[in-house]
Homo-oligomer: A and B are copies of this chain.
């Protein structure tokens, strides 16, 4: 009597390239090595105390189901935030609260694509897009962006040439994970033009929308003219308020049919976490001072990483305009091997670095093997030590693998 086989998607569901080396990091720590975690986008910035204060003041005796589209007060606050950012006419009816950005992306893919359909995107991309696409039976058609171009988009004609008969949507991410690139207005408008010309939805992953440095300006999908019926903003509070564990995000669209589909998808899973939505309520009142101080800290960190990379022979990266990642080319042939070796065989003054290998951020086989993603989610002093560690490692790494 055989064991039944998993589904193809169950068997093919990839482990997170950001998390799969965790067991090796745990072993390194057990050997007494200090591991600098630059592999995962978990900010060290404290969650604003107002969150915990609100949670402690939760007034109900029963932690009940909330509305499937999110607590009304949260939707009001979210809509007001987007109106402050210039998105006129966004009210609670245009906002669906999701179980963080992950579910926002899942809902957007399912509501716009059927199994067998295609979504156009740009690699390197947030690695979990692969998993969401596999879950939904959707194929990602990825156009490659290059480190030499600062991972900015290919020209419009190249994008247009990739649109096929099953293409249903364009998925973009700015500020970008993993590259930190902030798309210029002209790039965003080119995407909008392609979406209009080929009758596609335009899905914007804007998890890092408040993390933009040095005069760069974030342009979101709702900033664009002429795409009200096809633009979907996918957002989360995870990074904005250092609230990754709360699992609170949202979808915003002016397309009422899509909004209804999001509500019905939401009804299927009943509601996002109630208590953590309640805790998030006061955060919307923090104002722009909060963002400015966080931005200043991340900009200092980015500069430390770039200085560190500049001192490493053969390393290459263009200074990213946003998010808290740098995608860098390193003088290695297999960054997966290098990342494992850092954890298993290397230490520098009792320390090592954990990186995310680049290939996990590409759909095209063979790409990204000389790249890594660095998340600057620790303070500048630790970052300096981490970059020293990385430089020391590359001096002795023999490149095999």
Query: Chain A's interface: helix, strand, loop or mixed, by majority?
Result: loop
Q: Which of A6-49 contact B (CB under 8 A)?
A: 6-11, 13-16, 19, 40, 42-47
Query: Could you say which residues of chain B place their CB within 8 Å of the CB of A257?
Result: 3, 6, 11
Which residues on the B side are within 8 Å of A113 (C-beta)?
Answer: 7
Q: Are B61 and A268 in contact (CB-based, < 8 A)?
A: no
Nearest-Cβ distance from residue A233 to partner chain B, whole angstroms: 16
Interface: A223 (CB within 8 A):
no
Interface string of A262-296 (1 = CB under 8 A from B): 01110111111111100100000000000000000
B-binding segment of A129-137, A349-357, A364-372, A381-389: A129-137
Determine, out of A62-70, A174-182, A314-322, the stretch whose residues face the partner at the interface: A62-70
Contact B131 A264 (CB under 8 A): yes
A45-B62, A63-B51, A111-B7 as given contacts; A244 in contact with B270, CB under 8 Å: yes
A6-B261, A168-B7, A258-B10 given as contacts; is B64 within 8 A of A269 (CB)? no
Confirm or deny: A313 has a beta carbon within 8 angstroms of a beta carbon on chain B. no
B131 touches A268 (CB 8 A): yes
Q: Is the CB of B271 within 8 A of A247?
A: yes
Known: A115-B137, A131-B265. A274 touches B245 (CB 8 A): yes
Q: Which of A164-180 contact B (CB under 8 A)?
A: 168-169
**Interface hub of A14, A52, A63 (most chain B Cβ within 10 A):** A63
Residues on the B chain within 8 Å of A100, using CB:
269-270
